[in-house]
Amino acid sequence: MNWKGWVLVLIAGLFLLSGAFTGGGTGLFSLGFAGSKGYDLKDKPVWHAERIPVSVPAWLNASTFGGSVTVTSHELDEILVRIYVRKSGRWLKDGDEAPVHVTITDSPDGLEITAEPERTGLFRSGTGASVSYEILVPAATEVRAKTSGGSVTASGIAHNVSLITSGGPVTVERVTGEVLARTSGGPVTVNDVTGNLTARTSGGGIRITNATGRLSARTSGGPIRLENVAGAIEARTSGGSIDARVTHLEDYLTLRTSGGSIHARVPRETGMDISASGSSVSAPLDNLTGDIAPRRIDGSVKGGGIPVSLSTSGGSVRISYSD
């Protein structure tokens, strides 16, 4: 055989080794129920389902890839999980072999669920599959959920919540506890939260409604809207406007944007020290005193008090009362 023949044999061998790149094995199981990135899981086949009794308060750690995680509370002292697997555009059903590894580690008061793609072939490539969880937990459950490619949602939780995704929206509803909501590629929506709140996104807007506590909202690519918020409040964006209706202030109010306008509605009864700057600044407040100019205000209301700092490089600033 000449050298060209040996080259062909070598290429064929490499192809056979890496050509099993799509080879699959039976996936291990775990818990969860949710929707994958943009997928509606209603009427989709469940690949695996499980229920595990837990003592309360409980904890949950859930991580997956390519799909979404939805965590909702129920009245039972157990964690109920459904797992959905999608491969090559098709939803797999119970009993189908799936090129994924899903594992569970449980304890009397909680459990950890992880999903990873099965790596095959010479270069350890993935299989094009995704795993989504849908999970029911007792309300008093500390929730930590993470995905690399879908939405993350938690609702009805009476404990701390941490939701992180690299490629989808984050939604938090009816939570009493400390909240972290972070995404690199979507919006953050929060409604009815009592507790310290941190919202971060690099690729979308932030909307927070009915929140009480120390609040920090930051985005690099969208507007921020705060409706009926109370506490110490900070909001920063590089690419949008900020609209904030504050019902009660504690410690500080800081709003910053490089690419939009700011409208802050503040409680009438609060004493404030105000520093505001923009292309134009208006503040029709009672008994405002200090240095007041068309583009800047450094002054106080009701003798001063809580520091209020508002600034924009690309728009106007307006301060009014929230009532």
Cα–Cα distance for residue pair 147/204, rounded to 1 Å: 17
Both tokens assigned to 45: 């086949």
Q: Please name which of 184, 167, 113 lies closest in space to residue 143, comparing C-alpha atoms.
A: 113
Q: How many CB atoms lie within 10 A of CB 220?
A: 16
pLDDT (0 to 100) of residue 185: 84
Q: How many CB atoms lie within 10 A of CB 244?
A: 23
Percent of the chain at pLDDT > 90 equals 77
Asked which of 8-17, 100-109, 223-232 is least confident by mean pLDDT, the reply is 8-17
Cα–Cα distance for residue pair 240/260, rounded to 1 Å: 5
pLDDT (0 to 100) of residue 35: 32
Asked which of 14-23, 34-43, 60-69, 262-271 is least confident by mean pLDDT, the reply is 14-23
Over residues 243-261, mean pLDDT: 96
Q: Which residues pair with 170 in a beta bridge?
A: 152, 188
pLDDT (0 to 100) of residue 323: 83
pLDDT (0 to 100) of residue 41: 72
**Rounded to 5°, angle at Cα 62 from 56 and 65:** 170
Q: Are 154 and 174 in contact (CB under 8 A)?
A: no
- Model confidence band, residue 27 (pLDDT cutoffs 50, 70, 90): very low
Instruction: Render pLDDT for 168-190 as a digit per residue (tens, 0 to 9).
Output: 999 999 999 999 999 998 999 99
Percent of the chain at pLDDT > 70 equals 85
- DSSP tag of 89: T
> CA 299, 301, 306, 308 torsion: positive or negative?
negative
Cα–Cα distance for residue pair 90/87, rounded to 1 Å: 5
Q: Which residues pair with 215 in a beta bridge?
A: 197, 233
Is the pLDDT at 7 greater than 60? The verdict is no
Both tokens assigned to 303: 């003798």
pLDDT (0 to 100) of residue 39: 58
Mean pLDDT, the chain, integer? 87
**Rounded to 5°, angle at Cα 288 from 218 and 312:** 25
Measured in whole angstroms, how far is the alpha carbon of residue 85 from the centre of its chain? 22
Instruction: Render pLDDT for 197-233 as a digit per residue (tens, 0 to 9).
Output: 999 999 899 999 999 999 999 999 899 999 999 999 9
pTM: 0.85
pLDDT (0 to 100) of residue 120: 66
Q: Are 282 and 263 in contact (CB under 8 A)?
A: no
